[in-house]
Amino acid sequence: MSESASFTFKIDSAQAAKLRAILEEKGFAFREVPYTLYGAQKQKLTVNAYTSGKLLVQGRGAKEFVEFTIEPEIIGEAKLGYDEIHNPEMFQPHLGIDESGKGDFFGPLVIAGVFVDGNLPRQLLDMGVKDSKQITSDQKALDLADAIKDLITLDRCNVIVISPEKYNELYVKFRNLNSLLAWGHATVIENLLTRWPKCPRALSDKFAHESLIQRALKEHGKGIILQQRTKAESDIAVAAASILARAGFLTRLKFLGEKVGVPLPKGASAQVKAAAKEIVKKSGAEALKSVCKFHFKTYQEVIGGSLMEPET
């Protein structure tokens, strides 16, 4: 029995015209569909070519039509559409969670989650969404985050920003970064499940045993399937979450730098240490504590060094 599925492509006007001729030859019935050049249907299979250049193929037999007609005769390569075939889980309803800032001395810890279903995974892929670590430009990450927010409704995403001061307080409470991360992931999952209670599973990168997050979940999350795996950012929901988390981190990092009057570098490099010393010299240790994660050894190195430096 032919499977029912949905595939989205980007085509130009020449490809749309060529496809129309093929559809006519194959006996498709044409019909008017809003915002399309044409809509066509044959039995349970529908093909809509939109004026925007989007091509939507869906219904029973869509996979075979993509494999044997769209890709070889219209697209010209056996590439698009195969994500759905070889990685079907990515196109099923699920949550993706990721974080940004855990390896950075300055700035917050930001944890984001995205719920996907329907055509959203393909739309995100077509937009160029990928693991934020593969996006070398901060501005590109910020722009892509804006595009993601424009595409998905706000109730499909949740971003929590844990300020350095709150992070330091929680780190003292949990005494462990993985426990703090588990609490943050569980909070995002709970927040999204209040809006999408039927979501069957949540996926994140591997950082600790799933039971650590499971114990942190409350009422809504007790029934969800938790999955962690290395390179989880290859999943489109996790990739979208990683971009939203990075954008949230970058925005807050800039704000905190303006607050203390010193640009705050990312990471934990010598440049970061130099900026920390400048903050202490300019505004004191408490100012540094308000913009950094004080369990990093950089904090003790800078504070210890500042106490030993003679006054000038």
- Residues 131-159 have a mean pLDDT of 89
Indicate if the pLDDT at residue 203 is higher than 90: yes
Q: How confident is the model at residue 312 (pLDDT cuts 50, 70, 90)?
A: very low
Buried b (16+ CB within 10 A) or exposed e, 253-276: beebbeebebebbbebeeebbebb
- Measure the CA–CA gap between 79 and 211, rounded to whole angstroms: 38
- Please tell me the predicted confidence (pLDDT) of residue 93: 95
The strand pair at 4-10 and 54-60 is best described as: antiparallel
Tell me the three state secondary structure of residue 139: helix
pLDDT given for residue 276 in this prediction: 96
pLDDT surpasses 70 at 77:
no
Share of the chain above pLDDT 90, in %: 66
- The band of 181, judged by pLDDT with boundaries at 50, 70 and 90, is very high
- In this prediction, residue 76 carries a pLDDT of 78
Least confident of 39-53, 86-100, 284-298: 86-100
Given strand 54-60, what is the order of strands in its sheet? 4-10, 54-60, 45-50, 36-42, 29-31
Other Cβ atoms within 10 Å of 182 Cβ, number = 24
Choice among 101-110, 212-221, 236-245, 275-284 with the minimum mean pLDDT: 212-221
Residue that wins the pLDDT comparison between 156 and 221: 156
Q: What is the rounded CA–CA span in Å between residue 301 and residue 38? A: 67
d(CA 279, CA 226): 41
Q: Is a pLDDT exceeding 50 seen at residue 50?
A: yes
β-pairing, 36-42 vs 29-31, is antiparallel
| Mean pLDDT score of the chain | 89
